Structure 1
Amino acid sequence: MKKERLNPALIRAVYSSYRNQRRIMNDLNRRLSAATTREEWTSIYQERAATIRAAFDVNTETTVLINDTVFANKLDYDYAESFYHEDFSVQTEENSDIFFSCRLLTTLADYYREQHDLIRLLPLLDRLGQNYIATVKMHMASNYNKALECYREILSYRSNYSLIPDLSIRKLFFQAYYSLSCILPIVECKDTIAPSQSLDYLLEVFSFYNSPTVQKIDGQSEEIARCIDNIKENWLWIEYRIDVADPETIAAFIKVSHDVYDKMLRAANNDILKLPVSTVIAFQHAAILEGNTSYIDAVNYMMNYYNNKRAANAEALGNEFNEGDFYFQTKLPIALIKWLDKIDILSDMCAAMRKKLIDEQNSYFISLSERKIFSHKIYEACCSWCFFAVNYLGTREEKENFLISMLINRQPLTFFNAYLNAELAVLVAESLYLHTPILLNACETFLKVNGMSFTRRDVIEFIRKCALFHDIGLNRISKIDGTQYRKLTDLEFDVIRRHPELGAEIATGNLSIYRDVILGHHKTYDQTDGYPKDMDFSNSPLKVVCDILTICDALNSGTDKSGRCYKEPKDFSIVLSELITDSGTKYNTSIVNLFLNDMDLAYKVDKLISRDRENIYYDYFVNYFDKPTV
């Protein structure tokens, strides 16, 4: 992009370039999945890498222009209008650059607030609230209250309702109530509002709708009436948290669930399979709370409903993707498994039901992959499912295979890095056994203490698995990691620095053997730097494994010319010189010295990360990626 001052025409060009980047990348990803030969796949992958690099260069220059104008308090009417129209032309689902969008929308909202322009301000606040919620789901918990304030600010302008001529803008008041009563109460976060507060917002929106002002203007509006029905129906999502609600909220939940269920069932000519799954779940849970049924009877009823609806959807939809079916397939199994947790008897039957639900859910995600249906929404649902369902599996091997096949093997960037790091870690571990095996004594003892075999072969295999799992937390922030095609902001890096802690949440029970490695692989050798800042792994028996993976990460990321667009790739020799310079502080000196004393290791590593990367990636892709088994 030619260097020039930002202007409305250039703003349009920036967004046009962004949309074009997304279109090209989506097409390249589609072609990559469909490639049938090594040559075709490698060519497309290299084209994809060049496209990422070009996009990175353009976006870096664009960011400088925007920083110099928009974020330097130089926004004027023409700039604001151009950004407003262009940013709203990029739909929220398409816009993966959420953190940048939050900053831009905040700046625009500040501008239009000063102008007292509600026609612009209210849509901005609504969009900003949606984006903040998206960042909370990416574990930026501090943005929860920001989302809350966006919607509360919208409601603060209710006295202007009669002054707003555009129905689509007036609807935003009801959209704000929808978010406050239906969405924010079920977003998992330490600041999540209580179920009783969601009820307060529900009652408040009913009162607002029936007020003389709204009735005079929109009392006959079918769109506004539908907004009210939508809020009432979707408030039943609070079922997710109803067990911790106060008696008043529980009573309201029971009443609303009956009202909605009866109304929808009449509209569906008494065909329960046509009802939204949330309505059926809520109605059954209400029956439990009323004492009209038990958890076991409700589960049996819902399992029958589940089987019948799956069959009906399969017949009606075939291979077509449907949002309603997606919600049904991904939400109902979790709800039923949680109900099964509350049943103290018939444990064998409950275990069989739980296994069926887990197997069916896994099969659903696998079927989406086989049909080449991909999106961030699908991947994030799969990731959440894995972190939930793994706790119900038995043996360590069963859990490992589940996480590898259902999670690690389904997100391209973390997938490739995991497998390449595993290859590197095996090479380093083999060299350690040849030259300084004493460094692995603590690891052998650790395996022995945990009742595992600790032969040389077993230790190397354990280190390989540590490499596969060490970055599993990145799978929970996939919308940041490697999708922006620009230099990441400090805020985005802060989120990425949380991935060890996010990953460690899965390292419980018989997976706790991976906990120190997941948490400690970004700490420096001397533990004075890196993250998590408040943790020290000096005395961990797996300290040497952390040191191995720290070096493997440096070798992998430093020489990667296609996966990580925010750093220029380097030759192996340059990365090795950096390892030598920082040995003793950032890196384990004994491991670094292996590359100087073991020429076979140095040759194999150089070949792996520099010359054979695309070929190895292709082999990984063919043999592992998107496969239902390990």
Structure 2
Amino acid sequence: MNAQAEEYMISNTDIRYFFDTYYDNFMHSLAWEDHLLEPASREEWLATLRACADDQQQRCADNQILLEQYLYPLSSNPALLSDEGYDLLLSFCRDFYYSNYTEPALLIRIIDILLPHYEDRSDTESLLFLYICAGFSYMELSRTGEPTSRDKTIYFYTKVLSYRDQIEFFESAASRDYIFIAYYNLIRVAPGLGILDIETAYRLWEELCQIRTMPKFCQYDTTNPRIPQLCDCAINDFRAYGAVLNVERVIAPSAILSSLENMTQIYYSEILHEHGSIYECPAFTVFNYHYVQARNGTITWEAAWQILDDYYVHKMQTIGQVSSPDLLAFYTNLPLNLIDVLGHTHFKEEFKQATYRRYRNLITSYLMNQPASLNSYTLNNGVQLVAFHPLILGTFQNRMEKMNFIVDLVVTRHLTTFTHSVMVSYLAEAIGKHILAARPELLRIPSSYLEGNVYASPAEVLDYIVPAALFHDIGKNGMIPIINTQHRKLNDYEFNIIQTHPQKGSDYLSSDPDFLIYQPVALGHHRSYDGTRGYPLSFDNTASPYRDAIDLIHICDCLDAATDYLSRNYHRAKPFDVVLNELKAGRGTEYNPDMVDVILSDRELYNDLKMLTEQNRENIYYDIYLTFVNLRKKRQ
């Protein structure tokens, strides 16, 4: 290597400095979340919020400099790092992987840098780690609904399995574990995430069952106790997968379903005989067995529910002893199964409604009281499973009950997104009232109460606009870990995921007839007025019957984002008058020109909006904080 190249080398000291500083900034960023939720007076809390905004903006800028100086250059110029430097970078990658505070998109960036180096060296065990780390990272990102991550999850886990027959030559015990971690995630997790079809998972399950009969792979059970644990969980839980398929809406061929049911019957009988008590049997096995028994008419639905509810209440006493993913399944999948079974019974409706409430409270209490920073992608996946699930929404008796549930579970779940949604609803209500008073023809939506081509009354319009504004970012629910990245700028991959939130919100709201009317606003609020820009391009906002509402929410969304000086670390807030000039400059292209004219010409409205976005913003934020904290207390 020549002297000029050495002059620009990234040293081991640089790598250590990068990770130590970056991680310190990361942990400080997470700590602010806890500080903002501590009990405080208005003055104390606002002082904390301002300090948080200033500190986060500085740390975000510092981390971005670190990334651009020490990490990102390696993507285009791998020669900047020595062999020893690559090994050091690999060790930090391991630390990140084994940490509870994972950043999958950043891990993928590091893996992309490391892979060519270790492939050139044919370093099998380092490659095994990188493949398992990449598989995990893409699997986590697949929980956001990002489509390309699914294929990449399968690709990297399959790469791990391709080394299976070399297990005897591995020097590291962890390398042997990686083989079975890949099997476990492909068999037990991937089908429920829509990553892998059930037929392929079934084939891998059969393969794993065969492997467990071969001494070559069982000889490490003592030195690698995690191997039999992973295998037993993957094999036994898959036998009871019918209970998972039922609530996760995974389509499976009838032959596989029949096979799974038969295996459940056999396994349940074996384990019940072995332990002598239903309470010692695995939960999904118990649930699937009794569900099948009731469906086949062997026992009544009433008997099945009584057995399962009793089992569930009993298991709640010891559930703290199981691992986190099992805990999430216990408080999401199993209550959904109980709701399903109860729905088949002929118990009195009053009793069923009271029991539905008990199950909903169990679910929401668990989901809302978990630290957002721990296992955040998995936790958000649980919220996604539950929030708009037909079994849950089917327990409510009207639209208002459903809306309150969604607001409590989803909209209020994250303080920053909750704050933005409330601000947009306030702005939409303020502008909407003035438009309806001065030029009502600018804000027309179809009536939800009358058939035919009939427009809603002004009162109906306002009743629609406020919840539509609250729900406009509902698609961000599955992306909270990315949105919560306050310690650095999002990279292109993460930003592309964020841009899918309108479609994701549309998918959520399409799951129930009572929410369909809000779907166009969720889908179109990032589209320009003239329909030439924004996302998703596949949606033609100019042809939507709800175009006026979309135009209004688009203006309010941009107005709040641009003037927010407390919760957006990636930019500096703009003065209200500067933003108004931007609205004026974009009238007819980015923004509805008539609505912009109303805002610019109505002095009273101007004062209201200026007050909302500037002087009154902190009061609104504190009120939202109190609501947020009180909701969390209620759920505990």
Q: TM-score range by the shorter chain?
A: 0.7 to 0.9
1:529 corresponding residue in structure 2 = 533
More divergent stretch after superposition (178-187 vs 203-212) = 203-212
Q: Any idea what the Cα deviations from partners look like across 1:311-336, whole Å, max 9, x if unmatched?
A: x359x89xx99765543222211223
1:171 corresponding residue in structure 2 = 177
Is the CA contact 2:446–2:454 (under 8 Å) kept in the aligned structure 1? no
Q: Confirm or deny that 1:577 pairs with 2:584.
A: no
2:483 corresponding residue in structure 1 = 481
Q: Any idea what the Cα deviations from partners look like across 1:570-598, whole Å, max 9, x if unmatched?
A: 11121111111111100011111223211
Q: Distance in 2 between matches of 1:585 and 1:370?
A: 44
Q: Any idea what the Cα deviations from partners look like across 1:12-32, whole Å, max 9, x if unmatched?
A: 222222332333233322222
Q: Distance in 1 between matches of 2:325 and 2:220?
A: 33
1:306 corresponding residue in structure 2 = 312
Is the CA contact 1:265–1:271 (under 8 Å) kept in the aligned structure 2? yes
- The match for 2:59 among 52, 55, 58 is 55
Q: Distance in 2 between matches of 1:427 and 1:216?
A: 70
Structure 1, unaligned runs of 5 or more: none
Amino acid of the structure 1 residue aligned with 2:184 = Y
1:99 corresponding residue in structure 2 = 105
Q: Distance in 1 between matches of 2:82 and 2:265?
A: 52
Is the CA contact 1:295–1:339 (under 8 Å) kept in the aligned structure 2? yes
Is the CA contact 1:276–1:324 (under 8 Å) kept in the aligned structure 2? no
Change over 3 Å in CA distance of 1:15–1:361 after alignment to 2: farther
2:3 corresponding residue in structure 1 = none
2:47 corresponding residue in structure 1 = 43
2:129 corresponding residue in structure 1 = 123
User: C-alpha root-mean-square deviation of aligned residues, in Å?
Assistant: 3.4
Q: Distance in 1 between matches of 2:23 and 2:145?
A: 26
Q: Confirm or deny that 1:356 pairs with 2:359.
A: no
Q: Distance in 2 between matches of 1:172 and 1:96?
A: 18
Is the CA contact 2:387–2:409 (under 8 Å) kept in the aligned structure 1? yes
Amino acid of the structure 2 residue aligned with 1:210 = T
Q: Distance in 2 between matches of 1:451 and 1:24?
A: 55
Q: Confirm or deny that 1:279 pairs with 2:285.
A: yes
Compute the displacement of 1:374 (Å): 7.2
- The match for 2:426 among 423, 428, 438 is 423
Q: Any idea what the Cα deviations from partners look like across 1:548-573, whole Å, max 9, x if unmatched?
A: 11111111111122322223321112
Q: Distance in 1 between matches of 2:221 and 2:442?
A: 75
Change over 3 Å in CA distance of 1:626–1:15 after alignment to 2: farther
Q: Distance in 1 between matches of 2:266 and 2:222?
A: 21
Q: Distance in 2 between matches of 1:220 and 1:98?
A: 30
Compute the displacement of 1:263 (Å): 6.2
Q: Distance in 1 between matches of 2:100 and 2:505?
A: 26
Matches for 1:49-198 after TM superposition, within 5 Å: 49-65=53-69, 66-74=71-79, 76-91=82-97, 94-189=100-195, 192-194=196-198, 196-198=199-201
Q: Confirm or deny that 1:253 pairs with 2:260.
A: yes
Compute the displacement of 1:352 (Å): 5.0
Q: Confirm or deny that 1:201 pairs with 2:204.
A: yes
Q: Confirm or deny that 1:550 pairs with 2:550.
A: no
Change over 3 Å in CA distance of 1:10–1:561 after alignment to 2: farther
Is the CA contact 2:63–2:488 (under 8 Å) kept in the aligned structure 1? yes
Q: SS at 1:627's partner residue?
A: helix
Amino acid of the structure 1 residue aligned with 2:582 = E
Q: Confirm or deny that 1:463 pairs with 2:465.
A: yes
2:415 corresponding residue in structure 1 = 412
Aligned length: 616
Q: SS at 1:298's partner residue?
A: helix
Q: Distance in 2 between matches of 1:599 and 1:127?
A: 57
Q: Distance in 2 between matches of 1:175 and 1:127?
A: 11
Q: Distance in 2 between matches of 1:329 and 1:158?
A: 35
Q: Any idea what the Cα deviations from partners look like across 1:143-198, whole Å, max 9, x if unmatched?
A: 11211111211121223222112222112222222222222222225xx322x322
Q: SS at 1:574's partner residue?
A: helix
Q: Distance in 2 between matches of 1:237 and 1:13?
A: 48
Compute the displacement of 1:416 (Å): 0.5
Percent identical residues = 23
1:6 corresponding residue in structure 2 = 10
Matches for 1:188-267 after TM superposition, within 5 Å: 188-189=194-195, 192-194=196-198, 196-211=199-214, 213-214=216-217, 222-236=225-239, 238-239=241-242, 240-241=244-245, 244-246=251-253, 249-250=256-257, 252-254=259-261, 256-258=263-265, 260-261=267-268, 265=272
Q: Confirm or deny that 1:394 pairs with 2:397.
A: yes
Q: Confirm or deny that 1:437 pairs with 2:440.
A: yes
Q: Distance in 2 between matches of 1:407 and 1:226?
A: 34
Is the CA contact 2:447–2:460 (under 8 Å) kept in the aligned structure 1? no
Q: Distance in 2 between matches of 1:522 and 1:576?
A: 18
Compute the displacement of 1:509 (Å): 0.9
Is the CA contact 2:167–2:176 (under 8 Å) kept in the aligned structure 1? yes
Q: Distance in 2 between matches of 1:561 and 1:57?
A: 16
Amino acid of the structure 2 residue aligned with 1:156 = S
Is the CA contact 1:186–1:241 (under 8 Å) kept in the aligned structure 2? yes
Change over 3 Å in CA distance of 1:579–1:411 after alignment to 2: same
Q: Any idea what the Cα deviations from partners look like across 1:66-109, whole Å, max 9, x if unmatched?
A: 22124544354233212211122124663342222123223323
Is the CA contact 1:410–1:625 (under 8 Å) kept in the aligned structure 2? no
Q: Distance in 2 between matches of 1:544 and 1:468?
A: 17
Q: SS at 1:424's partner residue?
A: helix
Q: Distance in 2 between matches of 1:221 and 1:409?
A: 43
Matches for 1:336-355 after TM superposition, within 5 Å: 336-339=338-341, 343=344, 346=346, 349=348, 353=352
Q: Distance in 2 between matches of 1:217 and 1:537?
A: 60
Q: Any idea what the Cα deviations from partners look like across 1:256-278, whole Å, max 9, x if unmatched?
A: 435654565577x5343344422
Amino acid of the structure 2 residue aligned with 1:580 = K
Is the CA contact 2:305–2:342 (under 8 Å) kept in the aligned structure 1? yes
Q: Distance in 1 between matches of 2:594 and 2:467?
A: 22
- The match for 1:613 among 610, 617, 626 is 617
Is the CA contact 2:503–2:523 (under 8 Å) kept in the aligned structure 1? yes
Amino acid of the structure 2 residue aligned with 1:558 = A
Change over 3 Å in CA distance of 1:81–1:353 after alignment to 2: farther
Compute the displacement of 1:461 (Å): 3.1
Is the CA contact 1:410–1:626 (under 8 Å) kept in the aligned structure 2? no
Amino acid of the structure 2 residue aligned with 1:579 = L
Change over 3 Å in CA distance of 1:165–1:153 after alignment to 2: same
TM-score normalised by length of structure 1: 0.88
Amino acid of the structure 2 residue aligned with 1:573 = D
Q: Distance in 2 between matches of 1:84 and 1:372?
A: 28
Q: Distance in 1 between matches of 2:335 and 2:110?
A: 38
Compute the displacement of 1:295 (Å): 4.9
Amino acid of the structure 2 residue aligned with 1:499 = H
Is the CA contact 2:188–2:237 (under 8 Å) kept in the aligned structure 1? yes
1:518 corresponding residue in structure 2 = 522
Is the CA contact 1:181–1:198 (under 8 Å) kept in the aligned structure 2? yes
2:331 corresponding residue in structure 1 = 329
1:29 corresponding residue in structure 2 = 33
Q: Any idea what the Cα deviations from partners look like across 1:472-504, whole Å, max 9, x if unmatched?
A: 111121122242532222322222222112112
Is the CA contact 2:473–2:505 (under 8 Å) kept in the aligned structure 1? yes
Q: Distance in 1 between matches of 2:217 and 2:446?
A: 72
Change over 3 Å in CA distance of 1:170–1:572 after alignment to 2: same
Is the CA contact 2:599–2:606 (under 8 Å) kept in the aligned structure 1? yes
1:382 corresponding residue in structure 2 = 383
